[in-house]
Structure 1
Amino acid sequence: MGYQNIVFPKGATFLVTGAAGFVGSNLVEAILKLGYKVRGLDNFSTGKKENVEEFLHNSNFEFIFGDICDFDICLKACKGIDYVLHQAAWGSVPRSIEMPLLYEEINIKGSLNMMEASRQNAVKKFIYASSSSVYGDEPNLPKKEGREGDLLSPYALTKMVDEEYGKLYSKLYGLDTYGLRYFNVYGRRQNPDGVYAAVIPKFIKQLLSNEQPVINGDGRQSRDFTYIENVIEANLKACNASREAAGQAYNIAYGGREYLIDIYHQLCKALDKDIQPKFSDERVGDIKHSNADISKAKELLGYSPSWNFEKGIEAAIKWYILHL
């Protein structure tokens, strides 16, 4: 269970793009703890400098300040790298609806730059972040790979295009690519600030500040909230996956289903707060329900998530209490 016993060849080197972001910084930390060398790439457009500062004294860590939209930077970052964990992207469905051109530039062109740079540098494995948003309006639960609906946002489209490029790069060029469809990841270092902040850290910060949180919709929407440790495991197990498993996308979640209003009351109880939320309009582009079938990732990647929602939310709350 987990990833602590995963072994890579001696001297293995990893590149984490978006290294100063939520998922990226947690990947950097985990790989360094396993004793391997990590190069981080970020331009701090959404990531935070403080997320990588603690690693700068580690002789196994190298940081490059740069943009994935700059192909020369991508080539430099991939030089001498065995495994690329490509997390750099702009998230948020609502923001993508407001800024489709920017999402095209960063999430599609930037990802293609990274795949091409990986190919030219003979990288062994290219693991990249996709999203559950690619399921669009497909109503059936649980969500299963190969059964997608109409896309609902530019963000979802960028992730679907990344998957298609990943498929092509495996087929045409022999670059082993693995797309990880994250389902509502949460945990330490996730940014609680701003209008586009993820709901769990945002609620926690507002409750700790005795503010009244806003719930979009009626709160009866459901999500497969996935603790960061499960996502780290998926990335590292994909690095060890077979070539036969390449060129495909995989659901990465716990396989559970939580209703937003229930989570809100759970957070209130854990933080000893009695604050009624405000309800607002549903957000454009949001799906109503999300729950993942993770059998494919279990079978082909050896993915075996050990952090359920209860265990993960307890750890997340403790971290935010210490760091907010």
Structure 2
Amino acid sequence: MNIDLSGKKIVVTGGAGFIGSNLCEALLSKNNTVVCLDNFSTGKRENISTFLENPKFVLIEGDIRNLNDCIKATKGVDYVLHQAALGSVPRSIKDPITSNNVNVGGFLNMLVASRDNSVKRFVYAASSSTYGDSKSMPKVEDVIGKPLSPYAVTKYVNELYADVFSKTYGLETIGLRYFNVFGRKQDPNGAYAAVIPKFVSQLMRGESPVINGDGSYSRDFTYIDNVIQANLLSLVTHNKEALNTVYNVAFGDRNTLNDLVGFLKKYLSEFDKTIAEIAIKYGENRVGDIPHSHADTQKAKQFLSYNPKFSLQKGLKESVKWYWENL
């Protein structure tokens, strides 16, 4: 990825998480100083273990719900990549208060700290869940519906707060609406594990994955390297028209859950032939799930020069290899 970004000091909140740790790695490889702020509630120390000896990597074990931690992390930095959040629609339905405290209260703390410490640009993880019950396809940034979960509410509120801080305080912001991100370092364990690592680990154990519904729901699955590209491009753009708005970050295609499992079985069976014969089970549809998700990526291509290189199949091949070697 030939993006000219070096010699900067950049905060990555949630830097020990799946997306955050991959961003830390990309930034360090380009000779930037990286400040990782994480409370390890969902992030993992092993995700950043290889960075700890790097003099350009600074770990602050803190919580975005604590304003002082946010102020400490943003002191003297150029940019913020805000990835810290409590993800998962089901988790937010079970415990909306904690999701709100982290995703809204923590987000506001980071905005205030960035404003007060004169951060040049605040790039944050938004979410495709913001499209809610909108039936229009593909999803275009300025056409959204009503949120279908507390998580979706929190991510939409983030966009509203970012817009207000841009207009009121002059803070440069860019929101990246991620669509079902997957790839290396994504945790397959826990009650709220994402579908791809969860299915991979089940198939590797010879277990039948359970699809919620009949498998016809579709997603614009987005490989991690596409997301890294979008974040770095958001930091380096000099186009004033590109600022203070939101972008879809996806490959721009959609596949059903049945398609997904078929690809996983195919690629995993290259390592273990018996996986091809594992049966798939079907359960109830999950409350709060959007039936179909498909991103229009033209806005990001036009204003950020976003050019995603990894389709679902190409990304799955990379991911399956990583899981096979690391699980």
TM-score for both structures, normalised by structure 1: 0.97
Aligned position for 1:22:
18
How far off its partner does 1:306 sit?
1.1
Matches of 1:7 and 1:80 in 2, distance apart? Answer: 21
Aligned position for 2:324:
321
Count of residue pairs the alignment pairs up: 320
Matches of 2:43 and 2:240 in 1, distance apart? Answer: 32
Aligned position for 2:52:
56
Q: Answer yes or no: is the 8 Å Cα contact 1:153–1:285 preserved in 2.
A: yes
Aligned position for 1:258:
255
Matched, 1:41 2:37: yes
| Pick aligned residue for 1:99 from 92, 95, 102 | 95
Matches of 1:267 and 1:197 in 2, distance apart? Answer: 16
Gaps in structure 2 of 5+ consecutive residues = 270-274
| Pick aligned residue for 1:276 from 262, 275, 279 | 279
Q: Percent identity?
A: 54
Which secondary structure state, in structure 1, belongs to the residue aligned with residue 316 of structure 2? Answer: helix
Matched, 1:32 2:62: no
How far off its partner does 1:118 sit?
0.5
Matches of 1:246 and 1:74 in 2, distance apart? Answer: 23
Q: Answer yes or no: is the 8 Å Cα contact 1:168–1:247 preserved in 2.
A: no
How far off its partner does 1:246 sit?
1.9
Matches of 1:243 and 1:97 in 2, distance apart? Answer: 38
CA root-mean-square deviation: 0.9
Matches of 2:265 and 2:167 in 1, distance apart? Answer: 49
Aligned position for 2:165:
169
The one-letter amino acid of 2:142's match is G
How far off its partner does 1:11 sit?
2.8
Matches of 1:297 and 1:67 in 2, distance apart? Answer: 31
Matches of 1:11 and 1:121 in 2, distance apart? Answer: 19
Q: Answer yes or no: is the 8 Å Cα contact 1:13–1:81 preserved in 2.
A: yes
The one-letter amino acid of 1:5's match is N
Which secondary structure state, in structure 2, belongs to the residue aligned with residue 63 of structure 1? Answer: strand
How far off its partner does 1:244 sit?
2.7
Aligned position for 1:246:
243
Which secondary structure state, in structure 2, belongs to the residue aligned with residue 230 of structure 1? Answer: helix
Matches of 2:296 and 2:42 in 1, distance apart? Answer: 30
The one-letter amino acid of 2:38's match is D
How far off its partner does 1:245 sit?
2.0
Deviation per CA, 1:38-80: give whole Å up to 9, x if none.
1101000011111111100111111000000000010000001
Which secondary structure state, in structure 1, belongs to the residue aligned with residue 190 of structure 2? Answer: coil
Aligned position for 2:272:
none
Which secondary structure state, in structure 2, belongs to the residue aligned with residue 129 of structure 1? Answer: strand
How far off its partner does 1:222 sit?
0.5
The one-letter amino acid of 2:324's match is I
Q: Answer yes or no: is the 8 Å Cα contact 1:176–1:243 preserved in 2.
A: no
Deviation per CA, 1:92-136: give whole Å up to 9, x if none.
001101111101100001001001100111111100001000000
Aligned position for 1:197:
193
After TM superposition, the structure 1 stretch with the greater mean CA deviation from structure 2, 10-19 or 213-222, is 10-19
Matched, 1:285 2:282: no
The one-letter amino acid of 1:280's match is G
Matched, 1:143 2:139: yes
Q: Answer yes or no: is the 8 Å Cα contact 1:136–1:151 preserved in 2.
A: yes
Matches of 1:25 and 1:45 in 2, distance apart? Answer: 14
Matched, 1:309 2:306: no
Matched, 1:183 2:186: no
Matches of 1:243 and 1:165 in 2, distance apart? Answer: 19
The one-letter amino acid of 1:245's match is A
Deviation per CA, 1:272-295: give whole Å up to 9, x if none.
211111111000000110000011
Gaps in structure 1 of 5+ consecutive residues = none
